[in-house]
């Protein structure tokens, strides 16, 4: 039974004079604030925050939570996002007071346990990537891309090389060109071939001495491991460029192939994907980066170093690009990643990827009888189908399909990405879904394609709202509540 | 095998049969060239069960001092404010923390409404019209604000700030500016604040002034005066503010700021050794199309029901790629949820009283230090919740170690960032501290015998 009050805004539920928090009396022999601070600095009244009791606040936000789909409640085959199960033990452990209540400016000797954990995480990420030097500082994948491109820029600056261009694949995440632009690079796009892999001839044509970095996602956003990877990386290295690996798809290759071994010079991880730190409704993530030895001096500072039995933050790194944020990094997310990696161990991580590949290929083997899958019979951890034919024959778009999937009690796949597939439907089941769930999802897709187009074009039908008006939202933005 | 694997041997066989492959290795071999495959196990210790893992983590956690085991007077951008139980309870719901970015609005109304409520609360705290759904932290929010100002007028390439800005925010800004055509002028702060010195630096090439108020040393600044001078020169004003302080102090928008940024850790988020934290950013209406990151907006659905969506997405990287206002994708939604719940629990009176506690307890603590012969107050003047103490014996590190052994995290040494303040430390006092704790701090530090 839906609580109808829940969808009122917290501001509409507010009543003057109600309150939740009370503070102890100020038992101090000091003056009132008005005598301590200059009058012209003081506001006449506090900000007009809502006024509610604790019970009302709790009911409001608990009820709102029930309007979300989540991994805890639903299958979430959202391509490119790796929505795997988020272990409860990691939540408990990250909130241990000896980790969660540590102040960022404590002395190194008062945080030895935490520094040990972070040091070991650096080592494990280096081993998984095959790239020896690690910075845990970036706050998200895109932030890691940015930091790594700054590392590359500092490297070329020190060598006195004027390289002004970053190449990105046409199938790349939007963050790749956006990050390059923030570091002042001109971005140029490398085309994909019809089979979804990098068009090496196009890369060869665009790869000149002005190119600093080629940003590559491998496996790519079509879920394909690029078999030409050696040729690609040598081509870039021969012209003095660096290879950046967007690690968004690391869930496919843990213990199977290492970016450092296939030619990447820099990369980021998304621990909130690969290592199950939850997505939090959009964040927080983390974006640790790994680089080759010769790029290590340029990493953001500080990094954790070990001296015998003790650990400390190393700040004395003259070539470092500096900080990219305040304090150490998204430690809470990193602690969860540490717990995840320690739970599986080396052999277990390989099994994670093997199962992710197995699940995706199994679902592909069923979906290819329902939708066209333009890029073949095999994939790594995800695949991209196309609703093009459905659209032509029945007027059903990828969006219609996605919206109708919601009615069947599944989160929708990613649609309209990557941009290189028309009416793209991108499916990533992850390793933490059973065969029965994958079967039920395939069955739902099949039934949907048999349904009347009108039913789909109005979908979803079972959710509290359906097809919000995005155009009006953007043309006449209402982005805050105001009293009438 | 330990972990969270789902498939039985029977499942695996059935799945491989449906695929038409003999093994997963065969599927991998068809795509991943043999010469790039790792032919050995990863050199990472064998996995472990939950009991063993918990025991390991508890051992590591026990080696750390924390605000839970020690009395915490540390500040400098992260503070030991009280977090009500209801914040943890709500943020601990899987429907929130295991959901994705709300691109599918129909099954994300909870998250979207929270974002809308968060944005509204931020406009209430700042007195500005537009908030986004969050940035990474206070430092990167300050950087993004400067990038907004630089983009607003490409002819202006100068950024004016002061040493009263958090040193790690300054360092982050310097990192970002290395690769673009812009330069930062940093003026020195003094006991009277920095407004005069900053105003001298403002000229026709100035894109923005970046002023922290209360500043890194806890001192109040004259933002109004700086804003008037900056606006007269056509520059934008960015204020780094403390979200708790606006329970008492005038809001950034009321002081003339065009963009306000803050570290939102103080609003219900754990210290967690520096992250994940919450980057708050708000701006005036005229800058809305330059705002980085996600924004939730109100609209109606096909049946006319009020609802919420991600909006103005043409600013963002997944649409505009290299022309986006920022590269940010993942943000700090869960921390923004915590702040939303926290502010709803505090309400106007709770926020005001929290701020009053900070001001009065901080001034009390400062007077106790002042009356000790060993210490001197520097950068004196009206402060909000922290202040600078000089140890006349110049033994800051040793003092802090001594306090640690007495169960106190006493202060943040300033010498790392300010060589001239090598004998000084920063003390922060939140609403959680009691008179007894403050008295004990001063007593422990005053009576410490420290060989230098």
List, for residues B157-196, the tens digit of each pLDDT value: 999 999 999 999 999 999 999 999 999 999 998 777 777 8
User: CATH number for the A346-470 domain, one of 3.30.479.10, 3.40.50.920, 3.90.1150.10, 4.10.1240.10?
Assistant: 3.90.1150.10
> Cα–Cα distances in Å, from B194 out to B43, B167, B186?
54, 15, 10
Which pLDDT does position B420 carry in this prediction?
A: 95
Q: CA-nearest residue of chain A to B37?
A: A257
Is B4 domain-assigned? no
Give the torsion sign (CA, A42, A45, A48, A51). Answer: positive
Residue B66, pLDDT > 70, answer yes
- Residue B394's pLDDT band (cuts 50, 70, 90): very high
- Residue A1's pLDDT band (cuts 50, 70, 90): low
Question: Are B234 and B110 within one domain?
Answer: yes
Residues of chain A contacting residue B316, judged by C-beta atoms under 8 Å apart: 174
Q: For the domain bounded by A90-344, which CATH number is listed?
A: 3.40.640.10
Q: Find the CB nearest A23 among B67, B147, B353.
A: B353
The contacts of residue A398 (CB under 8 Å, 6+ apart) are A386, A387, A391, A415, A416, A423, A424, A425
Which pLDDT does position A414 carry in this prediction?
A: 96
Question: Are B283 and B139 within one domain?
Answer: yes
Q: Report the relative pairing of strands A266-269 and A289-291 from DSSP bridges.
A: antiparallel
- Which of B342, B361, B393 finishes a domain? B342
Least confident of A221-225, B266-270, B311-315: B311-315
CB distance from A349 to chain B under 8 Å? Answer: yes
Which pLDDT does position B389 carry in this prediction?
A: 98
Which pLDDT does position B448 carry in this prediction?
A: 84
- In the sheet that holds B412-413, the strands lie side by side as B375-378, B386-391, B424-428, B412-413
Measure the CA–CA gap between B345 and B15, rounded to whole angstroms.
51
Cβ distance of B111 and A182 shorter than 8 Å: no
Question: Are B163 and B292 within one domain?
Answer: yes
Residues of chain A contacting residue B180, judged by C-beta atoms under 8 Å apart: 182, 184
- Which of B342, B371, B395 finishes a domain? B342
Which pLDDT does position B315 carry in this prediction?
A: 87
Measure the CA–CA gap between B27 and B32, rounded to whole angstroms.
9
Please report, rounded to a whole number, the percentage of residues in chain B having pLDDT higher than 90: 92
Cβ distance of B137 and A58 shorter than 8 Å: no
Report, as an integer, the average pLDDT of B340-356. 98
Measure the CA–CA gap between B400 and B397, rounded to whole angstroms.
5
Is B354 domain-assigned? yes
Mutate to test the interface with A, among B59, B347, B416, B438 (most CBs of A within 10 A): B347
Q: Find the CB nearest A19 among B37, B101, B349.
A: B349
Please report, rounded to a whole number, the percentage of residues in chain B having pLDDT higher than 70: 99
Cβ distance of A468 and B137 shorter than 8 Å: no
Q: What is the pLDDT of residues A84-115, one digit of tens each?
A: 999 999 999 999 999 999 999 999 999 999 99
Q: Tell me what the pLDDT averaged over chain A comes to.
A: 96
CB distance from A215 to chain B under 8 Å? Answer: no
- Is there a shared CATH topology between the A90-344 domain and the A346-470 domain? no
Residue B452, pLDDT > 60, answer no
- Which DSSP state fits B178? T
Is B3 domain-assigned? no
Report, as an integer, the average pLDDT of B401-421. 97
Question: Are B372 and B436 within one domain?
Answer: yes
Least confident of A189-193, B40-44, B55-59, B319-323: B319-323
Bridge partners for B162 per DSSP: B187
Q: Tell me what the pLDDT averaged over chain B comes to.
A: 96
For the range A105-109, what are the long-range contacts, defined as Cβ-Cβ under 8 Å and sequence gap of 24 or more? A105/A327, A105/B74, A105/B76, A105/B78, A105/B412, A106/B64, A106/B65, A106/B74, A106/B273, A106/B409, A107/B397, A107/B400, A107/B401, A107/B404, A108/A310, A108/A311, A108/A312, A108/A313, A109/A310, A109/B401
Measure the CA–CA gap between A27 and A18, rounded to whole angstroms.
25
Q: Find the CB nearest A105 among B76, B125, B335.
A: B76
Q: CA-nearest residue of chain A to B79?
A: A103
* Whether the Cβ atoms of residue A356 and residue A364 lie closer than 8 Å to each other: no
Q: What are the domain boundaries of chain A?
A: 4-65, 90-344, 346-470
CB distance from A352 to chain B under 8 Å? Answer: yes
Q: Which domain holds residue B388?
A: 71-82+348-446
Cβ distance of A98 and B61 shorter than 8 Å: yes
How many domains does the structure of chain B reveal? 3
Is B1 domain-assigned? no
Q: CA-nearest residue of chain B to A413?
A: B104
Is B421 domain-assigned? yes
Q: What is the pLDDT of residues A244-279, one digit of tens each?
A: 999 999 999 999 999 999 999 999 999 999 999 999
Name the residue with higher pLDDT: A4 or B289: B289
Cβ distance of B334 and A11 shorter than 8 Å: no
Question: Are B77 and B110 within one domain?
Answer: no
Is B435 domain-assigned? yes
φ/ψ (deg, to 5) at A172: -70, 155
Question: Are B30 and B148 within one domain?
Answer: no
Which pLDDT does position B196 carry in this prediction?
A: 82
Question: Are B146 and B237 within one domain?
Answer: yes
Is B256 domain-assigned? yes
Q: What is the pLDDT of residues A336-379, one digit of tens each?
A: 999 999 999 999 999 999 999 999 999 999 999 999 999 878 99
- CATH number for the domain spanning B370: value is 3.90.1150.10
Question: Are B288 and B150 within one domain?
Answer: yes
Other CB atoms within 10 Å distance of the CB of residue B259? 31
Measure the CA–CA gap between B210 and B180, rounded to whole angstroms.
18
Is B41 domain-assigned? yes
Q: What is the pLDDT of residues B20-33, one digit of tens each?
A: 999 999 999 999 99
Q: CA-nearest residue of chain B to A341?
A: B47
Bridge partners for B134 per DSSP: none
Residues of chain B contacting residue A426, judged by C-beta atoms under 8 Å apart: none
Cβ distance of A345 and B46 shorter than 8 Å: yes
Alpha carbon of A386: minimum distance to chain B alpha carbons (Å): 19
Tokens for B305, please give them.
């029901």
Q: CA-nearest residue of chain B to A316?
A: B416
Residue B318, pLDDT > 90, answer no
Report, as an integer, the average pLDDT of B344-370. 98
Rounded to two decimals, what is the model's pTM?
A: 0.98
For chain B, helix, strand, coil in percent to 5 are: 45, 15, 40
Which pLDDT does position A7 carry in this prediction?
A: 84
Measure the CA–CA gap between A236 and A263, rounded to whole angstroms.
10
CB distance from A419 to chain B under 8 Å? Answer: no
Question: Are B209 and B137 within one domain?
Answer: yes
For the range A2-6, what are the long-range contacts, defined as Cβ-Cβ under 8 Å and sequence gap of 24 or more? A2/A464, A3/A59, A3/A63, A5/A59, A5/A60, A5/A63, A6/A59, A6/A60, A6/A63, A6/A64, A6/A66, A6/A67
Residues of chain A contacting residue B276, judged by C-beta atoms under 8 Å apart: 139, 283-284, 286, 330-333
- ipTM confidence: 0.97
Which pLDDT does position B316 carry in this prediction?
A: 85
Cβ distance of B100 and A279 shorter than 8 Å: yes
Look at the block and give the residue holding tokens 């400098």: B76
Q: CA-nearest residue of chain B to A54?
A: B345
Q: CA-nearest residue of chain A to B263?
A: A326
- Which of B310, B342, B374 finishes a domain? B342
Between chain A and chain B, how many beta carbons pairs sit less than 8 Å apart? 719
Helix crossing, B109-126 with A54-65: angle to 10°?
140
Residue A380, pLDDT > 90, answer yes
Residues of chain A contacting residue B30, judged by C-beta atoms under 8 Å apart: 378
Q: Provide the 3-class DSSP secondary structure of residue B337.
A: helix
Question: Are B366 and B387 within one domain?
Answer: yes
Tokens for A451, please give them.
């349904």
Write out the H or E segment, with its range, that includes residue A415.
Answer: strand A414-415
């Amino acid at each position: 039974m839906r609580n109808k009050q829940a969808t009122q805004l917290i501001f509409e539920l507010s009543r003057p004079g109600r309150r939740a928090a009370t503070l102890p009396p100020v038992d101090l022999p000091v003056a009132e604030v008005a005598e301590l601070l200059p009058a012209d600095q003081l506001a006449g009244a506090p900000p007009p925050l809502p006024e509610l009791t604790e019970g009302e606040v709790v009911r409001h936000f608990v009820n709102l939570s029930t309007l979300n789909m989540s991994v805890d409640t639903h299958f979430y085959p959202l391509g490119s996002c790796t929505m795997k199960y988020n272990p409860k033990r990691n939540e408990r452990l990250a909130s241990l007071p000896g980790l969660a209540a540590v102040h960022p400016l404590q002395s190194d000797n008062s945080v030895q346990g935490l520094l040990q954990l972070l040091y070991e995480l650096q080592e494990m990420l280096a081993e998984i990537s095959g790239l020896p030097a690690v910075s845990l500082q970036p706050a998200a994948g895109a932030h890691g891309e940015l930091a790594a491109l700054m590392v590359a820029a500092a490297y070329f600056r020190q060598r006195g090389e004027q390289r002004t261009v970053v190449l990105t694949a046409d199938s790349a995440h939007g963050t790749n060109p956006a990050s390059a632009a923030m570091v002042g690079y001109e971005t140029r796009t490398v085309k994909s071939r019809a089979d979804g892999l990098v068009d090496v001839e196009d890369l060869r044509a665009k790869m000149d001495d002005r190119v600093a970095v080629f940003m590559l996602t491998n496996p790519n956003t079509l879920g394909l491991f690029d078999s030409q990877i050696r040729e690609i990386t040598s081509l870039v290295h021969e012209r003095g460029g660096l290879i950046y690996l967007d690690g968004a798809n690391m869930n496919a290759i843990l213990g199977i192939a290492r970016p450092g071994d296939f030619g990447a010079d820099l990369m980021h991880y998304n621990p909130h994907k690969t290592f199950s730190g939850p997505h939090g409704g959009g964040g927080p993530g983390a974006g640790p980066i790994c680089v080759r030895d010769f790029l290590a001096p340029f990493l953001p500072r500080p990094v954790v170093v070990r001296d015998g039995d003790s650990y400390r933050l190393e700040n004395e790194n003259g070539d470092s690009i500096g900080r990219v944020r305040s304090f150490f990094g998204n430690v809470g997310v990193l602690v969860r990643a540490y717990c995840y990696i320690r739970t599986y161990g080396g052999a277990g991580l390989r099994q994670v990827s093997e199962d992710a590949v197995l699940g995706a290929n199994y679902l592909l083997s069923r979906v290819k009888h329902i939708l066209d899958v333009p890029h073949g019979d095999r994939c790594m951890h995800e695949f991209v189908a196309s609703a093009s034919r459905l659209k032509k024959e029945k007027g059903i778009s990828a969006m219609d399909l996605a919206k109708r999937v919601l009615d069947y009690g599944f989160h929708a796949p990613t649609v309209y990405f990557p941009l290189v597939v028309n009416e793209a439907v991108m499916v990533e089941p992850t390793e933490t879904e059973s065969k029965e769930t994958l079967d039920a999802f395939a069955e739902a897709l099949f039934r949907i394609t048999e349904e009347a187009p009108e039913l789909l074009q109005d979908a979803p039908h079972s959710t509290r709202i359906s097809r919000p008006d995005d155009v009006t939202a953007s043309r006449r933005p209402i982005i805050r509540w105001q009293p009438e | 095998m330990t972990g969270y694997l789902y498939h039985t041997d029977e499942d695996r066989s059935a799945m491989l049969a449906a695929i038409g492959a003999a093994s997963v290795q065969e599927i991998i071999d068809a795509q991943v060239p043999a010469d790039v495959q790792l032919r050995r196990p990863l050199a990472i210790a064998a996995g472990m069960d939950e009991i063993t893992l918990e025991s390991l983590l508890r051992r590591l956690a026990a080696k750390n001092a924390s605000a839970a085991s020690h009395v915490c007077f540390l500040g400098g951008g992260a503070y030991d404010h009280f977090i009500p139980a209801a914040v943890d309870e709500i943020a601990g719901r899987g429907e929130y923390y295991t959901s994705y970015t709300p691109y599918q609005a129909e099954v994300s109304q909870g998250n979207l409404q929270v974002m809308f409520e968060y944005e509204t609360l931020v406009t209430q705290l700042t007195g500005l019209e537009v908030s986004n759904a969050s940035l990474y932290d206070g430092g990167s929010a300050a950087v993004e604000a400067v990038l907004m100002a630089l983009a607003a007028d490409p002819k202006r390439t100068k950024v004016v700030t002061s040493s009263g800005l958090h040193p790690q925010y300054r360092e982050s800004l310097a990192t970002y500016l290395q690769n673009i055509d812009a330069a930062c002028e940093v003026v020195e702060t003094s006991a009277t604040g920095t407004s005069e010195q900053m105003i001298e630096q403002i000229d026709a090439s100035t894109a923005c002034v970046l002023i922290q108020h209360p500043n890194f040393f806890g001192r109040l600044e004259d933002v109004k005066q700086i804003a008037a001078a900056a606006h007269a020169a056509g520059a934008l004003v960015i204020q780094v503010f403390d979200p708790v302080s606006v329970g008492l102090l005038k809001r950034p928008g009321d002081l003339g700021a065009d963009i306000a940024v803050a570290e939102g850790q103080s609003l219900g988020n754990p210290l967690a050794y520096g992250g994940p934290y919450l980057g708050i950013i708000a701006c005036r209406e005229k800058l809305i199309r330059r705002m980085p990151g996600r924004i939730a907006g109100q609209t109606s659905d096909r049946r006319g029901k009020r609802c919420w969506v991600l909006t103005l997405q043409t600013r963002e990287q997944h649409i505009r790629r290299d022309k986006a206002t920022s590269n940010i994708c993942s943000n700090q939604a869960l921390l923004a949820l915590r702040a939303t719940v926290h502010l709803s629990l505090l309400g106007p009176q709770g926020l005001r009283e929290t701020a009053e506690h900070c001001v009065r307890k901080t001034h009390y603590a400062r007077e106790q230090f002042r009356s000790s012969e060993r210490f001197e107050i520097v950068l004196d003047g009206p402060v909000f919740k922290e202040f600078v103490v000089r140890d006349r014996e110049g033994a800051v590190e040793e003092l802090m170690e001594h306090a640690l052994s007495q169960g106190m995290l006493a202060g943040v040494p300033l010498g790392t960032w300010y060589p001239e303040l090598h004998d000084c430390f920063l003390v922060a006092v939140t609403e959680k501290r009691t008179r007894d704790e403050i008295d004990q701090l001063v007593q422990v530090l005053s009576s410490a015998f420290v060989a230098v």
